[in-house]
């Protein structure tokens, strides 16, 4: 695989920003010190792509440094884009992170890299506030995303802001989000009323996580609406131990085939 670090000037952010990209280059055979030639699997015409968002206070590097996402993506020939996001609820006037991730960055990368723009090949997911942001983007643009995933995310952003962020100096008041394109419940209702195609949804949460009740409530809401929603839970709190385990399950859920691994030529058969 190749790990690309891209620095670009964003019009939406009015600043330069960094992005990490996992570019899969699966080797067909292993190299070794004896000089055997390393060969690589053919590059597809267009890669399937996962936009993967960190949580609040983190940045574009955390998924790479804290999980096995690079190995998991390479095993599936999945290109993964990991941006930095500083505003998940569009509370700032100086930078439009929503426009950056939903419009500007995909268009920029599709001019540089062989990334598919087909709906069935385009996915978005994240952890904590990044999962909420992923749902928000996918449900505002259901014609562009086949799947959206969240890990330990405050998907009911109104309930989360009321419970934990009353009086925040950096976030908008909770009630100002009701009935807007920043509220997940509203977006679901609007898409169903308009007959729009709905992305498949995945969410997972630790049973000791402070977002657990919100995740259970949203699970029940999605089921009541008849959505294609996969829900998982297990022991865990709001940390990388849980996210490192469940990002594997999220990638297993995506409609991306895991390719067989070529055995090392020194490996004994059956081992």
Residue of 271 and 227 predicted with greater confidence: 227
Structure tokens, 240: 């990388």
Classify residue 260: in a domain, yes or no.
no
Q: What pLDDT digit, counting tens, does each position of 154-193 carry?
A: 999 999 999 987 777 777 888 899 999 999 999 999 999 9
Tokens 């839970």 label which residue? 233
Measured between alpha carbons, how far is 252 from 263 in angstroms, rounded to an integer? Answer: 21
In a domain, 264, yes or no: no
Higher pLDDT, 96 or 167: 96
At 121 the pLDDT is 98
Considering its fold, how many domains does the chain have in total? 1
Instruction: Give 169's contacts (C-beta < 8 A, 6+ positions apart).
Output: none
Who has greater pLDDT, 104 or 169?
A: 104
- Using CA atoms, how far apart are residues 217 and 234, in angstroms rounded to an integer? 16
3-state helix, strand, coil in the chain (%, to 5): 35, 20, 45
The domain of 20 spans 2-253
With CA atoms as reference, report the closest residue to 209 among 55, 53, 64. Answer: 55
pLDDT single digits (tens) 111-133: 999 999 999 999 999 999 999 99
CA dist 235 to 125, 231, 262, Å? 21, 14, 34
Residue 262 in domain = no
The answer to whether residue 34 sits within a structural domain is yes
Alpha helices by DSSP H, 165-256: 184-194, 212-224, 240-253
Stretch 230-251: mean pLDDT: 98
Confidence of residue 44 (pLDDT cuts 50, 70, 90): confident
270 found inside a domain: no
The yes-or-no verdict on residue 227 having pLDDT over 90 is: yes
Which CATH number do you get for residue 54? 3.40.50.1820
pLDDT at 211 over 90: yes
- Tell me, yes or no, whether 57 lies in a domain: yes
Q: What is the mean pLDDT of the chain?
A: 92
What is the spatial distance between Cα 63 and Cα 55, in angstroms, rounded to a whole number?
A: 10
| Cβ 81 vs Cβ 4: under 8 Å | no
Token pair 């009086």 in the structure block, residue: 167
Is the four-CA dihedral 56, 126, 89, 225 of positive or negative sign?
negative
Q: How far apart are CA 31 and CA 56, in angstroms?
A: 40
The pLDDT value recorded for residue 246 is 98
pLDDT band at 51 (very low <50, low <70, confident <90, very high): very high
Per-residue pLDDT, 67 = 97
Confidence of residue 30 (pLDDT cuts 50, 70, 90): low
Percentage of the chain beyond pLDDT 90 is 80
pLDDT of residue 42: 75
pLDDT for the residue numbered 259 = 82
The answer to the question of residue 235 being in a domain is yes
How far apart, in whole angstroms, are the C-alpha atoms of residue 194 and residue 197? 9
Average pLDDT, stretch 82-96? 94
Is residue 271 included in any domain, yes or no? no
The CB density around residue 30, as the number of other CB atoms within 10 Å, is: 13
Rg (CA), the chain: 19
Q: Which of 136-150, 155-169, 234-248, 256-270 has the lowest mean pLDDT?
A: 256-270
CA distance 196 to 191: 5
């Amino acid at each position: 695989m190749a790990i690309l670090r891209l620095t670009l000037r964003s019009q939406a952010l009015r600043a330069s920003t960094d992005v990490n990209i996992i570019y899969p280059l699966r080797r067909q055979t292993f190299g070794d010190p004896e000089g055997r030639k390393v060969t690589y699997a053919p590059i597809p015409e267009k890669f399937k792509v996962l936009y993967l968002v960190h949580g609040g206070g983190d940045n574009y590097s955390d998924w790479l440094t804290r999980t096995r996402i690079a190995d998991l993506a390479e095993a599936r020939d999945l290109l993964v884009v990991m941006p930095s996001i500083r505003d998940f609820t569009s509370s700032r006037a100086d930078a439009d992170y929503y426009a950056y991730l939903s419009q500007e960055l995909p268009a920029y990368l599709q001019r540089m890299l062989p990334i598919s723009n087909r709906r069935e090949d385009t996915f978005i997911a994240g952890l904590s506030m990044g999962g909420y942001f992923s749902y928000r983007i996918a449900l505002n643009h259901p014609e562009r995303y086949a799947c959206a995933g969240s890990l330990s995310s405050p998907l009911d952003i109104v309930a989360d802001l009321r419970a934990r962020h009353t009086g925040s100096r950096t976030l908008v008041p909770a009630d100002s989000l009701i009935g807007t394109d920043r509220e997940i419940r509203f977006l679901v209702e609007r898409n169903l009323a308009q007959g729009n195609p709905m992305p498949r949804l995945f969410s997972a949460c630790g049973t000791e996580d402070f977002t657990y009740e919100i995740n259970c409530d949203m699970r029940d809401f999605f089921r009541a609406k008849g959505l294609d929603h996969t829900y998982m839970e297990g022991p865990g709190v709001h940390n990388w131990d849980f996210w490192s385990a469940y990002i594997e399950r999220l990638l297993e859920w995506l409609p991306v085939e895991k390719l067989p691994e070529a055995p090392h030529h020194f490996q004994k058969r059956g081992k």
